[in-house]
Amino acid sequence: MAIQDIPNSLIEVIRYFSDVDVCIEFIASLRWLDGTVCPHCESKNVGFLKTRRIWKCRACRKQFSVKTGTIFEESPIKLDKWLMAIWLVVNCKNGISSYEIARDLKVTQKSAWFMLHRIRLALKNGSWEKLGGSGGPVEVDETFIGGKPKNMHADKRLKMKTALHGYAEKAIVVGMLDRESRQVRAEVISSVKRETLQKKILERVGFGSTVYTDGWPGYDGLKAEKYIHETVNHMEEYVRGNVHTQGIENFWSLLKRGLNGTYVAVEPFHLDAYLDEQMFRFNNRGTRENPLNDGDRFMLAVSQISGKRLTYAELTGKVPATQS
């Protein structure tokens, strides 16, 4: 498929994928770069049954479609709707709710919610390469996700308040931003204690990197762990030369704008999935040297659909998830 054929706007996506054969060809070309491969036995000795729009493997004798072994597997929803949903998720800056997807694609809200979570699984970055490289600057910060204390009754607000840090019933998220690559990593953590925060930094940031944080005591001692550690005291200042956490705080702003304004109610059980969605959009904004447009993000997302399976029972916690 030629690069100039890739749709670069929503209206082009609607027109381009109105033909089911175009949908199949598009997904297959991104999924199997070197020719169709059987998802059951990985053989390339396959034949296409044009009348049924499926393949049959001559090695294991099994049949499969372009949906098999992807986030689309066993979904009765047509591929054009799936591709339109992916486009909207990766290119709407503040995300898109299941109610909007349901209205736009003419599916039920429950189906739209399930679709969105499958798409978030495809957007998940499984590499988790260490940030900072050889001494690069990395910003680290934590934030709390949950109901706003100002909207709570005073008794409940007092009950939730902890002497340690923040509010006990809020979910805690730690984030790290590599200033040079403009890549962010964020995940839900159990507490803001020193051992928890510094364990995540040791796992995600390369030794020798310059780490910028606020003055929270949980970051004390990073210099002993082979990092250059600089802090900014937010009680006195927010920026001191290159010492600040403005970059990661910008990510928090975008994240909370989506959670509070678009999704409204997000269970802590699913919060990591919403982080994966926001990280994908943030990390693939592109730069002046390497610009990425809406079509590029869409292509990247579709290329990541393989080998990822999410059932409704896994999504709702009835059975353990098989995907990491």
Domains of the chain: 3-31+69-124+305-315 (no CATH), 137-266 (3.30.420.10)
pLDDT at site 253: 95
pLDDT attached to residue 1: 46
Write down the pLDDT at residue 71: 95
Distance of CA 209 to the CA centre of its chain: 25
Number of helices and strands in the chain (H, E): 11, 8
| Over residues 210-228, mean pLDDT | 88
Average pLDDT score over residue span 112-137 = 87
Burial of 213 (0-12, 13-18, 19+ CB in 10 A): buried
Q: Which pLDDT score, from 0 to 100, does residue 181 have?
A: 86
Predicted confidence at residue 287, as pLDDT, reads 72
- Confidence check: pLDDT of 165 > 60: no
Residue 164 has pLDDT above 50, yes or no: no
Using alpha carbons, select from 196, 200, 185 the residue that is nearest to residue 278: 185
* 67 in Cβ contact with 73 (< 8 Å): yes
Least confident of 97-111, 127-141, 169-183, 240-254: 127-141
Q: What percentage of the chain reaches a pLDDT higher than 70?
A: 89
Using the predicted structure, report yes or no on whether residue 290 has a pLDDT greater than 50.
Answer: yes
Partners of 140 in beta bridges: 176
Rounded-to-integer distance, Cα 316 and Cα 313, Å: 5
Question: What pLDDT shows up at residue 179?
Answer: 92
What is the rounded distance in angstroms from the CA atom of residue 227 to the CA atom of residue 205?
9
pLDDT number for residue 163: 42
Selected residue with higher pLDDT from 155 and 223: 223
Model confidence pLDDT, tens digit, residues 170-216: 899 999 999 988 899 999 999 999 999 999 999 999 888 999 999 89
Q: What distance in Å separates the CA atoms of residue 268 and residue 87, rounded to the nearest whole number? A: 26
For 273-285, give the DSSP string: HHHHHHHHHHHTS
List, for residues 234-252, the tens digit of each pLDDT value: 888 888 889 999 999 999 9
Residue 225 has pLDDT above 80, yes or no: no
Please tell me the pTM assigned to this model: 0.88
Over residues 2-32, the pLDDT tens digits come to 445 678 889 999 999 999 999 999 999 999 9
Query: Angle, to 10 degrees, between the axis of helix 79-91 and the axis of helix 20-31?
Result: 60
Interstrand relation of 137-145 and 171-178 (parallel, antiparallel or unpaired): antiparallel
Provide the pLDDT confidence category of residue 147 given band limits of 50, 70 and 90: low
Give Rg (Cα) of the chain.
22
Where do the H-state alpha helices sit in the chain?
10-16, 20-31, 79-91, 98-105, 109-123, 154-160, 194-204, 246-258, 271-283, 294-302, 312-315
Residue 169 has pLDDT above 90, yes or no: no
Contacts 24+ apart (CB under 8 A), 189-196: 189/142, 192/142, 192/164, 192/165, 192/166, 192/216, 192/218, 193/164, 193/218, 194/218, 194/219, 194/220, 194/221
SS percent in the chain: helix, strand, coil, step 5? 40, 15, 40
